[in-house]
Amino acid sequence: MPSAFSIVREPAQLTAAIADWQRQGHRVALVPTMGALHAGHLALVTEGLKHADKVAASIFVNPKQFGPLEDLDRYPRDEAGDAAKLREAGCELLYAPSVATMYPPGFASYVKVAGLPDRLCGAVRPGHFDGVATVVSKLLAASRADVGVFGEKDWQQLAIIRRMAADLDLGTRIIGAGIVRDQDGLALSSRNMYLNPDERGRALALPQSLIAARDALRGGAALAPTLAAAYLALAQAGFLRVDYIELVDEETLTPLDRPEPGARLMAAAVMGTTRLIDNFAV
Ligand code: PAF
């Protein structure tokens, strides 16, 4: 039986509702999202409930993290459907502000994390992670949640948010939740709905090539030919562009030349018009 559920649209209402819970002795988790919720997002709510006894979520399609040629206008939006899914998953509060509420006229403050956003996705999406850090710092500051839960599919985003929350003493513990995959292995993403059936089938080469590379590295293969084989597999599957396939340290995101504790294989590639990302621990 789903518990009580309410929707608020102003930051002061979010602050008050969560402070009220905390005054009653509850620990509160915040799950920030851009909506178009799938099982991966709902797993973030489930993860939140492991670390807190109340979960709030936010839905805000953040214009500041989209480039001028990106999919802000066509990004899927379904607040009523999302609210029903959140409630069913055990979330009790939804913060769904308008763009004018988040960024009123005169808004002029940005959060920029140095270093971590420079490479990988940040190299091909300039300004993207400044937009993410800005909106997430606003959400964490307004909520003052005990815990913030973010998906591990956006590993670079997670590393940046961890750094930002620690550097700014936001007081919210950042938790990463494991990637949720379709039965065939493709990581769930709101953007998967842009793929036509043919592209959806071929997109599977992304996790498959990373798994093959991970297994090869674990078996002692050298890094350069292993990554070259993964690039080739993606090209042969019809990916139009491979932005990167790299072995990096999972905290600093610096490139590694061999597997070591904390090593992670990360990739981004474009299928049709859809840019997909994925990563695996090595
Ligand atoms: O991962 C997302 O959905 C977004 O980047 C986030 C963290 C909600 C910030 O807009």
Quick: pLDDT tens for 202-230: 999 999 999 999 999 999 999 999 999 99
Residue 257 C-alpha to ligand 1 middle, in angstroms? 30
Ligand 1 contact via 174 beta carbon (within 6 Å) = no
Packing angle, helices 79-89 and 39-51, rounded to 10: 40
Ligand 1 contact via 135 beta carbon (within 6 Å) = yes
CATH class of the region 190-281: alpha beta
Q: SS3 letters for 247-266? A: EEECCCCCECCCCCCCEEEE
Task: Enumerate the domain spans of the chain.
Answer: 6-177, 190-281
- Chunked into runs of 10 residues, the chain (282 residues) has average pLDDT values of 85 98 98 97 98 98 96 94 98 98 98 97 97 98 98 98 97 98 97 96 98 98 98 98 98 96 98 97 98
Q: What number of other Cβ atoms are within 10 A of residue 140's Cβ? A: 21
Q: Confirm whether 128 is a catalytic residue.
A: no
Ligand 1 contact via 31 beta carbon (within 6 Å) = no
Which atom of ligand 1 sits closest to the CA of residue 32?
Answer: 8
In the prediction, which pLDDT does 2 show? Answer: 55
Q: Which amino acid is residue 165, in one-letter code?
A: A
Strands (E), 23-152: 28-33, 54-59, 93-95, 147-151
Mutate to test the pocket of ligand 1, among 135, 153, 191 (most ligand atoms within 8 A of CB): 135
Angle (CA) 150-151-154 rounded to 5° is 110
Residue from 137, 146, 142 nearest 22 by CA: 146
Quick: pLDDT tens for 92-134: 999 999 999 999 999 999 999 999 999 999 999 999 999 999 9
Tally the residues of the chain.
Answer: 282
Strands (E), 51-197: 54-59, 93-95, 147-151, 173-177
Q: Name the residue with the closest Cα to ligand 1, atom 2.
A: 33
Ligand 1 contact via 136 beta carbon (within 6 Å) = yes
Rg (CA), the chain: 19
Residue 33 C-alpha to ligand 1 middle, in angstroms? 5
> What topology does CATH give the domain 6-177?
Rossmann fold (3.40.50)
The answer to whether domain 6-177 and domain 190-281 are alike in fold is: no
Ligand 1 contact via 32 beta carbon (within 6 Å) = yes
Q: Global pTM?
A: 0.97
Tokens of 95: 């913060």
CA-based diameter of the chain, in Å? 57
In the prediction, which pLDDT does 237 show? Answer: 98
Q: Name the residue with the closest Cα to ligand 1, atom 3.
A: 33
CA distances from 197 to 39, 124, 240 (A): 20, 26, 16
Ligand 1 contact via 58 beta carbon (within 6 Å) = no
For the sheet with 241-249, list strands across it: 241-249, 263-271, 274-281
